[in-house]
Amino acid sequence: MHETHATFPILTAIVLLPAIGGLITALIPHARTEVLRVVGVMFTVATAALTIYMAVQFKVGDAGFQMVSHHSWIKEFGISWKLGVDGISLWLVVLTGVLFPLALLGAPVTRDVKNYVAWMLLLEAGCLGTFLALDLFLFFLFFEIVLVPMYFLIGGWGYDNRAYAAIKFFLFTLAGSAFMLVGMLALVFLHQRATGVLTFDLVQLAEKQALAETTARWVFLAFAIGFAVKVPLFPLHTWLPDAHTEAPTAGSVILAGVLLKMGTYGILRFGLYLFPRAAIDLAPILLTLAVIGITYGAIVATMQKDLKRLVAYSSVAHLGFIILGTFAFTSQGLSGGVLQMVNHGLSTGALFLLVGMIYERRHTRQIAELGGLQKSVPLLAAAFMVVMLSSVGLPGLNGFVGEFLILLGTFATHRWWAVVATSGVILAAVYLLWAYQRVFHGPAEGDNADIPDLNLRERAVLVPLIAMIVFLGVYPKPVLDRINPSVHRLLDHMEQAAK
């Protein structure tokens, strides 16, 4: 497995820049609210620019890890600072870079701006590190760092039931991580016993395949539980609707757009790459849970009275599709899954921003209390419609491409799971179109008749999101061209290991 090393450590810069921004924010006095906002936006925009530059420099057709930054860290334990990017992680890094400035601009807070901006910047550093780490210890460190800012963002700036939601989020994710830590240490020490080499290097551990078949299954299961909580996969999903509903708007955007992808990315990068044989053996269980999640998430979303909670349950359904594509073990399924991670981040992130904008105007998210908004906020209604149709999977918008590839890839190898999962597409149309009809159509009565439409700042945030949604729906080729070689390499690796 070849690696291309960078002359300039761009990946290290991408991870450290928001962390430095967080430290600078901590030194600015509380009273300087506008300065704090500017610093936050400035560092997130600079990070976004770096991630876009990285995508431009990325070599198309190269399946290996590129721009690798590798330095020995804790030598006696074989731990190193190793960052690298391939087609599977590339667009998740860009998505993270793009979503953070949009979330900060699209949903500014009014109280305790200093701590809010500092936590957001630390959260961004943790998210980027998670997607770029090629050392298991380093990955686990970043994976856990993310918990702390998210806990404080939900608990400090969330809504009425925020303390309960923050603690539930923290405990669920921490419990999942405990399983993953045990699995990780078992893998490293069993690898050392078999080879005499103590290392946390992902590539070395994956290429060697030193574990016995039964042992590999148990270790894979420990990793899978840790990632399944983060996805979240049915039945480990119960923390998600509470966390989404109670989190501040920007928190919900990042939670849906970036944090949930750590679970799906982790299964793909670590589960399939480190334990190919075990992943193939246990695929029917994960496919079944994914299909249950797709139908259950969609049915429960249909019943919701709170608009934000409806979008939260839609995430359970959409992430089930990504898991379905991953365990189809076909190039279409895997590429579709990676693309859908990006698509879901854009469309659900935009939906949460729009729900937040409605809440700011009406101070309610109850669907029954809204209605006829199309008359007073036509621009917001139009933006909501485009994003909602993207989430439904309308051809010509980004959601269609990912879901189509996933279902196509799954149908080739696991026909009946694909057939049942198709019901999720139909149910998504039911709950989203019905919600849109109740919120935006009909007579505008009382407070709904006289609310302001999108202001300049809100338009500036939504335009790039909608542009990306349309671009990926019409012309996904540049994105898929960079994803496909890495997906093919992963499938080849799995085929070799399965022999």
Query: Per residue in 174-193, pLDDT tens?
Result: 888 889 899 888 888 888 88
> Residue 23: which residues within 8 A CB-CB, separation 6 or more?
none
Q: Strands 65-74 and 3-5: what pairing? A: parallel
Q: Is the per-residue pLDDT at 95 higher than 90?
A: yes
Q: What is the pLDDT averaged over residues 258-268?
A: 89
Do the domain assignments include residue 193?
Answer: no
Q: What is the pLDDT averaged over residues 413-421?
A: 85
> Which residue do the tokens 């087609």 mark?
87
Least confident of 34-38, 66-70, 369-373: 369-373
Q: Is the per-residue pLDDT at 1 higher than 60?
A: no
Q: Is the per-residue pLDDT at 34 higher than 70?
A: yes
Is there a contact between 122 and 145 (Cβ–Cβ < 8 Å)? yes
Taking the C-alpha atoms of residue 443 and residue 116, their distance in angstroms, rounded to an integer, is 39
Q: What is the pLDDT of residue 209?
A: 73
Taking the C-alpha atoms of residue 475 and residue 417, their distance in angstroms, rounded to an integer, is 28
Taking the C-alpha atoms of residue 188 and residue 152, their distance in angstroms, rounded to an integer, is 32
Is 199 in a helix, a strand, or coil? coil
Is there a contact between 410 and 417 (Cβ–Cβ < 8 Å)? yes
Q: What is the pLDDT averaged over residues 276-283?
A: 86
Give the CA-trace dihedral at 36, 37, 39, 40, to 10 degrees.
Answer: 110
Alpha helices of 304-366 — where are they, by DSSP H?
307-326, 331-362
Helix (H) or strand (E) holding 387: helix 378-392
Q: What is the pLDDT of residue 371?
A: 76
Residue among 148, 218, 144 at smallest CA distance from 176:
144
Q: Is the per-residue pLDDT at 20 higher than 70?
A: yes
* Confidence band for 3, pLDDT divided at 50, 70 and 90: low
Q: What is the pLDDT of residue 101?
A: 92
Taking the C-alpha atoms of residue 306 and residue 314, their distance in angstroms, rounded to an integer, is 13
**Domain extent for 325:** 282-499
Q: What is the pLDDT of residue 163?
A: 86
Q: Is the per-residue pLDDT at 382 higher than 60?
A: yes
Q: What is the pLDDT averaged over residues 152-164?
A: 85
Alpha helices of 58-161 — where are they, by DSSP H?
87-106, 113-132, 136-145, 147-157
Do the domain assignments include residue 352?
Answer: yes
> Which residue do the tokens 């419990």 mark?
175
Alpha helices of 133-246 — where are they, by DSSP H?
136-145, 147-157, 162-195, 202-208, 213-230, 239-246
Is there a contact between 78 and 195 (Cβ–Cβ < 8 Å)? no
Q: What is the pLDDT of residue 121?
A: 92
* Confidence band for 46, pLDDT divided at 50, 70 and 90: very high
Is there a contact between 469 and 398 (Cβ–Cβ < 8 Å)? yes
Taking the C-alpha atoms of residue 33 and residue 11, their distance in angstroms, rounded to an integer, is 30
* Confidence band for 162, pLDDT divided at 50, 70 and 90: confident
Is there a contact between 383 and 462 (Cβ–Cβ < 8 Å)? yes
Q: Which tokens belong to 270?
A: 């670590």
* Whole-number average pLDDT of the chain: 86
Query: Per residue in 324-342, pLDDT tens?
Result: 888 988 888 899 999 999 9
Q: What is the pLDDT of residue 438?
A: 86
Q: Is the per-residue pLDDT at 117 higher than 80?
A: yes
Is 96 in a helix, a strand, or coil? helix
Q: Is the per-residue pLDDT at 74 higher than 60?
A: yes
Q: What is the pLDDT of residue 64?
A: 81
* Confidence band for 7, pLDDT divided at 50, 70 and 90: low
Q: Is the per-residue pLDDT at 303 higher than 60?
A: yes
Is 11 in a helix, a strand, or coil? helix
Q: What is the pLDDT averaged over residues 9-38?
A: 86
Do the domain assignments include residue 319?
Answer: yes
Q: Is the per-residue pLDDT at 474 higher than 70?
A: yes
Q: What is the pLDDT of residue 131?
A: 92
Do the domain assignments include residue 477?
Answer: yes
* Confidence band for 96, pLDDT divided at 50, 70 and 90: very high
Q: Is the per-residue pLDDT at 130 higher than 80?
A: yes
Q: What is the pLDDT of residue 129?
A: 92
> Which residue do the tokens 């696991």 mark?
414
Our count of domains for the chain comes to 1
Q: What is the pLDDT of residue 339?
A: 92
Do the domain assignments include residue 315?
Answer: yes
Give the CA-trace dihedral at 70, 41, 353, 392, to 10 degrees.
Answer: -40
Do the domain assignments include residue 183?
Answer: no
Q: What is the pLDDT of residue 2?
A: 59
